Amino acid sequence: MAYQAVFKRVEKKYLLDEAQYNALRERLEGLMTVDKYGETTICNIYYDTPEHLIVRRSIEKPIYKEKLRVRSYGTPGKDGTLFVEIKKKFKSVVYKRRTSMKLEQFGDFNKGLSINSPDRQIENELMYFLKFYKGIAPAMYLSYDRIAMFGNEDKELRVTFDRNLTFREDDLRLENGSYGRKALPEGVRIMEIKITNAMPMWLSHILDELKIYPASYSKYGACYTILEKERRAAAGEKKTNIEKKEKVTNCA
């Protein structure tokens, strides 16, 4: 396989404003390099149950959590390649296993049919995930524009910067492109530091000097929370209107 299929690492997240981002990029000059893809739009379909069990558990910040998504790098064409990923987190360690499939296999995968993965073990894990969570199905489209960097001395050190977080609950097809609602203010970026061992001291010092501190942030969780707040507000308004009508009727 021409891609990495198994990951085990620690991932730390941060929210940066424009000034912090520019200052950090300047400080990383000579220490880290942007990968060959430059800025890339990463498109995802997140899976969940009808009750949104997976995202609700994630928001509760348990010791262990897991999620399933299908990802493409850019909007896939007719013969485009998708990556199916299971991501698990235990305490602070992230385990990710993924395999590839063609765009035309997306429907079969959703039905629990074989995608003839080059790695049968990973496909078996994916099929088990689909069976374990009853009623699981595509639940949200989510995309963002990413710049990824790697360490000049330690190639396993990765830092990514994501902006333009976009989401929608309908039209859950990757080939239909990135459009929808925005989840972050203009200029805000989500930074992730991915390490296999301890964070380098030089990077810790830079973050400390720039007053950049870890933040608990889930892209899927943040987008779901926006929608859930709106649903609750709408339900509360509807309830208030019903109560007002009942009061008028009783007075009459």
**pLDDT value for 197:** 83
- Please check whether residue 1 lies inside any domain of the structure: no
- Supply the CATH number for residue 32's domain: 3.20.100.30
**pLDDT value for 246:** 60
- Check: CB of residue 9 under 8 Å from CB of residue 194: yes
Q: Give me 63's structure tokens.
A: 């010791």
**pLDDT value for 238:** 67
Q: Into how many domains does the chain fold?
A: 1
- What are phi and psi for residue 39, nearest 5 degrees? -85, 125
**pLDDT value for 58:** 94
Segment (H or E) for 123: helix 120-132
> Cα dist. 216→64, 152, 192, 207 in Å?
15, 27, 11, 16
- Please check whether residue 131 lies inside any domain of the structure: yes
- Please check whether residue 45 lies inside any domain of the structure: yes
**pLDDT value for 198:** 87
Amino acid at 133: Y
Closest by alpha carbon to 170, among 140, 137, 142, 135? 140
- Check: CB of residue 196 under 8 Å from CB of residue 96: no
**Rounded Cα distance, 80 and 177, in Å:** 13
- Please check whether residue 33 lies inside any domain of the structure: yes
Domain region containing 148 = 6-251
**Rounded Cα distance, 252 and 249, in Å:** 5
Neighbouring C-beta atoms of residue 93, cutoff 10 Å: 11
> Cα dist. 190→14, 20, 149, 211, 252 in Å?
6, 11, 14, 15, 56
Blockwise average pLDDT, block size 10, the chain, 252 residues: 82 97 98 96 98 96 95 95 96 93 95 91 95 97 98 95 97 97 96 93 97 95 96 80 61 60
